[in-house]
Every structure is written in structure tokens, then in C-alpha cells.
Amino acid sequence: MGKKDLEFYMSTNWIIKEPIDMELKEYLMLDYFQKIEKDLENKKLYPVFSELSLHLANLQTLLKQNQTLDTKRKLSSIDDEFTLYDLVSERIPELSDEKYENLREILVKVLPQFKKQFDAFKSLWTKVYDSIDIKIIKKNRFKNNLGFFYFNFNGVLYIFEYKNRKYKNIVTTKLNLIHKSEDIESKPQLIIQDYISNNKKLTDCSIFEVHIEKDFPLEETIIPIIKRKILSYLTQTKNLTSVVSKLNSI
């Protein structure tokens, strides 16, 4: 996983940045779609799905509430995601009546196209999510913030340590790859126990076994979905996709 901040394909203020012109905004939108559609063709979900979710939520907020929606921080890794507490809303800049009407017309035209792109990525997300099976091998009933999961992918055994962090009511997960080997006959639970024995803070951790049925990109799709599926198993949290769903219901 990369540690540097990840740059968006397109700035979140693209829609309100001068000049507010229909032809220009359509050009920017289509250029953005060309980039993300390459990721979709390659079945790469992250970090593009997080960015697309933010763009869609921003457009919906702008149209319905005359406010822009942005984030306080950048994504720090491919499997990172925004939470509700990362989001900030602001009133749109002062515009003339003509520019305001132009902006409204642009929003009405581009919003359905962003929603279509979002639905395409969401469909892939659901397909991947449903293809991954997690099985709890060892459960700690009293502590969900630390644990491990392992899986075989293309003849390689991967073992990850996860650490859940809670801020207010939002839980996020950080991953650490502790083992990678082509020796798939290795006993992952023994490897985990050896790792735990060298770190007394990791006693009584939960362990998940993961089965992958489909062949998707590991770093951009499989690992982020495993992370979210385990987190969903352990706890309930709201993320940016939830914001989009709520805005759709308004």
C-alpha cells in the first residue's frame, strides 16, 4: 500500500471554477470519465470509487442545497476512504443571476451522467463484495480493534494485520501486511501465533479466513473490499457512499 497522499483525477471545485460554461464543463467531465472508465475496464475500484462518490455527493449537494461538499484531507492509501467527519460543506461563491442559472443548467445535465458512472462502479463493487467469503476462525468477543485475515491469491499466501480506530461513531481500518509467501502449504494460523507471541499487545485477536472466487486486481479491488467486509462484520459505520444514498432519497 502506498503511503503518499493520492491525487484526484479531477479537482472537486471543477464545477464552480470560472468560467462557468456548459461546453467547458462537459469537456472536463468527459475527460474525467475517460480516465475512470479505464479503471472500470481493468476492474480497479479504489481509489477512484472514493473520488467518484465525493464528486457525485458534491454535485447533489450543490444542486439541492446550494452548497459545495469537499474533504478535509486527501486519501493516504489506495484502500483508504472518506468518513462523514472528513467532509465539509460551504456556500457557493457569489454569482450573477446569469452565471447562477448557467450553473443550475450544467448541474441538471451532468448529474445524471455522474450517477450513471457511480452505478457502474457500484455494480462492480457489489459483484466483488459478493464473490468474497470471510470465515471467522477465532473471535475475540470483547475487543474488535485488532485482528488478522489471510487468503491465497494466484499461488501466494497473504496475511494482514488490521487495526480498527474509532472516532466518535465512525470506525476506520488500517492494514499491515505481515506475511507474503508462495508457500501456500504454510499454516497461516501458526504464522499469526508466532507474530502475536512477539507482540504482547496483540493477545486474543480475531482471525479471519478469506476465500476469493473471482480474479480481480489485488491492491485496487480485492484488499479494499476484504477490509470493508470484515469491518462490516465487526461493526456498522457510515462512509461517503452512505452520504450519496441519503442525498438520493431527499
pLDDT, tens digit, 9 for 90 and up, residues 45-60: 999 999 999 999 999 9
Q: What is the mean pLDDT of residues 144-171?
A: 87
Structural domain contains residue 55: yes
**What local confidence, expressed as pLDDT, does residue 31 receive?**
98
Report pLDDT digits (tens) over 121-150. Answer: 999 999 999 999 999 998 876 566 889 999
pLDDT tens-digit readout, 94-131: 889 999 999 999 999 999 999 999 999 999 999 999 99
pLDDT at 247: 58
Residue 146 domain-assigned (yes or no):
yes
Q: What is the mean pLDDT of the chain?
A: 88
- pTM assigned to the model: 0.87
Does residue 15 lie in a domain region? no
Is 33 in the same domain as 119? Answer: yes
- On whether the CB atoms of residues 40 and 124 are closer than 8 A, the answer is yes
pLDDT more than 90, % of the chain: 65
What is the domain count for the chain? Answer: 2
Identify the three-state secondary structure at position 61: helix
Cβ(162)–Cβ(239) below 8 Å: no
DSSP code of residue 93: P
Q: Give the Cα separation of 160 and 54 in Å (integer).
A: 28
pLDDT > 70 in the chain, percent: 87
What domain range is 163 assigned to? Answer: 132-234
> Does 11 reside within a domain?
no
